[in-house]
Amino acid sequence: MPDVTLRPLTLADIAIMLKWSEDEEFCLANDWPLNQPPERWEETFLRMVNNPPVNLMRLGIQAHNLLIGYVDLGQMNPLEARAAFGIAIGNRAYWGQGYGYTAGHQMLRYGFEDRGLERVTAEAHASNTRPIALLVRLGFTLEGVLRRHETYRGEKQDVYLYGMLKEEFVSRPALRLLEND
Ligand SMILES: CC(C)(COP(=O)(O)OP(=O)(O)OC[C@H]1O[C@@H](n2cnc3c(N)ncnc32)[C@H](O)[C@@H]1OP(=O)(O)O)[C@@H](O)C(=O)NCCC(=O)NCCS
């Protein structure tokens, strides 16, 4: 498995995230708006670094000393011990080589083992085969389908709902979460 570190995002990462926003294929895959001016993106990324939503934990995925993506536990609900998983590898040169799996697994381990989550959910558009394969590989179960729920790549698509319970997560203790961990 590739060597991956998860770490908080910093202001220095904004330039890299702006590069991702210029990549049309990445934006289409990740459902980011196309042709948004760089100033708007900069505002979005600044807010994300300086003032993220209280119920979102977003960590940068670092490989070979480079930020290549981010992974989320969002909609954190401590009362229900539940969160929503999300992930994006913004640098497409790193797709399909196990970085998503490794980073996703580290984040799930953090959620289940360190944050006491009992359930993690995830969603994917029906035509988006990469994240679907990733979620299945990570151990998520398909729990439902929202039919023709959302426009993705210009057409109404089904949205697949996935879930994983704490006892379904297979831990691999050798993986690290944060630098210096
Ligand atoms: C989804 C994403 C995070 C996956 O990360 P990745 O590093 O490319 O994935 P990995 O290399 O770890 O592979 C994970 C699984 O996806 C599969 N996969 C990789 N490339 C694939 C492709 N082109 N088509 C279908 N499955 C693919 C792998 O085979 C693996 O499954 P397997 O173990 O059963 O073989 C990444 O492709 C991405 O950021 N895509 C754009 C954003 C996006 O779609 N986000 C999801 C929004 S819900």
Q: Residue 157's domain spans which residues? A: 5-168
Domain presence at residue 180: no
The partner residues of 58 in beta bridges, in order of sequence, read 72
Q: Which ligand 1 atom sits nearest the alpha carbon of residue 122?
A: 48
Closest residue by CA, ligand 1 atom 26: 130
pLDDT at 172 (0 to 100): 61
For a mutational test of ligand 1's pocket, the pick from 1, 85, 89, 130, i.e. the residue with the most ligand atoms closer than 8 A to its C-beta, is: 130
Q: Which ligand 1 atom sits nearest the alpha carbon of residue 96?
A: 11
- Percent of the chain past pLDDT 70, that is, above it, reads 94
Domain presence at residue 31: yes
Q: Which ligand 1 atom sits nearest the alpha carbon of residue 87?
A: 3
d(Cα 14, Cα 12) in Å, to the nearest integer? 6
What DSSP assignment string belongs to 81-118?
Answer: TEEEEEEEE-SGGGTTTTHHHHHHHHHHHIIIIIS--S
Query: pTM for this structure?
Result: 0.92
The stretch 112-132 carries a mean pLDDT of 97
Q: Which ligand 1 atom sits nearest the alpha carbon of residue 89?
A: 39
Closest residue by CA, ligand 1 atom 35: 133
The pLDDT confidence band at residue 37, using thresholds 50, 70 and 90, is: very high
Domain presence at residue 102: yes
The total number of structural domains in the chain stands at 1
Residue 144's CATH number: 3.40.630.30
Token reading at 148: 């023709």
Domain presence at residue 179: no
Is 60 exceeded by the pLDDT of residue 108?
yes
d(Cα 175, Cα 88) in Å, to the nearest integer? 19
pLDDT at 92 (0 to 100): 95
In single-letter form, the type of residue at position 54 comes to V
Domain presence at residue 99: yes
In single-letter form, the type of residue at position 8 comes to P
For a mutational test of ligand 1's pocket, the pick from 95, 107, 121, 123, i.e. the residue with the most ligand atoms closer than 8 A to its C-beta, is: 95
Domain presence at residue 93: yes
